[in-house]
């Protein structure tokens, strides 16, 4: 997926990941929000306060994927990962989220925060926060 095709939706994608984690109402370092942009232009999000991925329903990526699947088949074009209240200088996906995003597509564009700036990398290159 070409980055220029994603550009108009990047801000919306980041905002949805932030809103997802914000809806948890926690400042826990274990919280994570993930938003997925699909080819229809829709964005689906999920959040968890268990970055270890041990939650019963599989964590933030799993929750977002379930919403996307319920809406019908659609290719995931990009993802964004956020932490509570956007206070962290660096926000990487949890190990479980990293694994699931790479399973969707190792080259999936994933937006994370590194050293205070939002950056895009591929799912296989983005690393994990645990």
Return averaged pLDDT per consecutive 10 residues of the chain, 130 residues in all: 58 93 83 93 90 61 93 92 81 90 95 90 82
Is 3-122 CATH 3.40.140.10? yes
- Cross-sheet strand order for the sheet of 43-48: 43-48, 32-38, 76-82, 109-114, 117-122
pTM value is: 0.86
- Write down the pLDDT at residue 2: 44
Q: Which two tokens stand for residue 14?
A: 């980041």
Q: Quick one: how far is CA 86 from the chain centroid?
A: 14
- Write down the pLDDT at residue 104: 94
- Write down the pLDDT at residue 100: 92
* Whether 34 contacts 93, CB under 8 Å: yes
- Write down the pLDDT at residue 60: 92
CB burial readout 89-98, b (16+ within 10 A) else e: eebbbbbbbb
- Write down the pLDDT at residue 77: 94
């Amino acid at each position: 997926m070409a980055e220029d095709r994603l550009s108009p939706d990047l801000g919306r994608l980041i905002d949805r990941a932030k809103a997802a984690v914000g809806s948890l109402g926690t400042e826990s370092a274990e919280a994570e929000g993930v938003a997925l942009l699909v080819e229809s232009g829709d964005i689906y999000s999920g959040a968890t306060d268990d970055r270890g991925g041990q939650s019963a329903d599989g964590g933030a990526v799993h929750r977002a994927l379930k919403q996307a699947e319920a809406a019908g088949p659609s290719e995931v074009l990009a993802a964004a990962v956020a932490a509570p209240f956007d206070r962290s200088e660096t926000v990487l996906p949890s190990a479980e989220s990293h694994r699931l995003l790479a399973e969707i597509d190792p080259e999936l564009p994933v937006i994370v925060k590194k050293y205070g700036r939002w950056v895009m990398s591929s799912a296989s290159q983005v690393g994990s926060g645990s």
